Amino acid sequence: MPTADEASLQALPPARRFSVARLAAYALGLGLLIAAVIAVSGRTDALRQAVESARNSSPWLVLAVIVLPLANIAVISTSFWVLTSRFGRVALPEMIALIVSSWLLNHLPLRPGLVGRVGYHKLVNNIPVRSSVRVVIEQLLCGIAALGLMLLVAVLCAPLGAPVVITLLLVAGAAVTASGFALRHLALTASRSPASACITTAFGLRLLDMTLWIIRYLCLFALVGHDVGISGAAAITAASQAAMLSPIPLGLREWVVGAVHAWLGAEWISGSGGAIATFTPGIAADLANRAAELLVAVPLGILATLWLMRIARATRAARIAQAGAFAPTHPVPPSSV
The answer to whether residue 265 sits within a structural domain is yes
At 277, give phi and psi (nearest 5°): -65, -40
- Going by C-alpha positions, the residue among 229, 211, 213 that lies closest to residue 166 is 211
- Going by C-alpha positions, the residue among 260, 135, 103, 261 that lies closest to residue 201 is 135
Note the pTM of the prediction, 2 decimals.
0.85
Count how many domains the chain has.
1
The band of 303, judged by pLDDT with boundaries at 50, 70 and 90, is very high
Q: How many CA atoms lie within 13 A of 74 on its CB side?
A: 7
The answer to whether residue 326 sits within a structural domain is no
Average pLDDT, the chain: 84
pLDDT at 205 over 90: yes
What percentage of the chain reaches a pLDDT higher than 90? 49
Question: Which pLDDT does position 77 carry in this prediction?
Answer: 96
The answer to whether residue 235 sits within a structural domain is yes
pLDDT digits (tens, 9 = 90+) for 251-280: 889 999 988 988 887 444 434 445 556 788
Cα separation, 327 vs 157, in Å, equals: 67
The band of 320, judged by pLDDT with boundaries at 50, 70 and 90, is confident
**Between these two residues, 10 and 91, which has the higher pLDDT value?**
91
Question: Which pLDDT does position 12 carry in this prediction?
Answer: 44
Question: Which pLDDT does position 217 carry in this prediction?
Answer: 95
Cα separation, 268 vs 168, in Å, equals: 30
pLDDT at 329 over 80: no
How many other C-beta atoms lie within 10 A of the C-beta of residue 174?
15
DSSP string spanning 146-179? HHHHHHHHHHHTGGG-HHHHHHHHHHHHHHHHHH
The band of 96, judged by pLDDT with boundaries at 50, 70 and 90, is very high
The answer to whether residue 335 sits within a structural domain is no
What is the four-CA torsion angle of 83, 89, 90, 92, rounded to 10 degrees?
80
Question: Which pLDDT does position 10 carry in this prediction?
Answer: 47
The answer to whether residue 161 sits within a structural domain is yes
The answer to whether residue 330 sits within a structural domain is no
**Between these two residues, 282 and 68, which has the higher pLDDT value?**
68
- Going by C-alpha positions, the residue among 79, 77, 82 that lies closest to residue 95 is 77
**Between these two residues, 166 and 59, which has the higher pLDDT value?**
166
Amino acid identity of residue 81, one-letter, is: W
Cα separation, 187 vs 138, in Å, equals: 19
What number is the average pLDDT over the span 122-149?
93
CA quadruple 52, 55, 61, 66: dihedral sign:
positive
Q: What angle do CA 134, 241, 167 make, to 5 degrees?
A: 100
Question: Which pLDDT does position 109 carry in this prediction?
Answer: 77
Cα separation, 284 vs 231, in Å, equals: 20
The answer to whether residue 328 sits within a structural domain is no
Cα separation, 52 vs 54, in Å, equals: 5
The answer to whether residue 5 sits within a structural domain is no
**Between these two residues, 313 and 326, which has the higher pLDDT value?**
313
Task: Give burial (CB, 10 Å; 0-12/13-18/19+) of 248.
Answer: buried
The band of 156, judged by pLDDT with boundaries at 50, 70 and 90, is very high
31 is in which domain, residue-wise?
20-312
Question: Which pLDDT does position 228 carry in this prediction?
Answer: 87
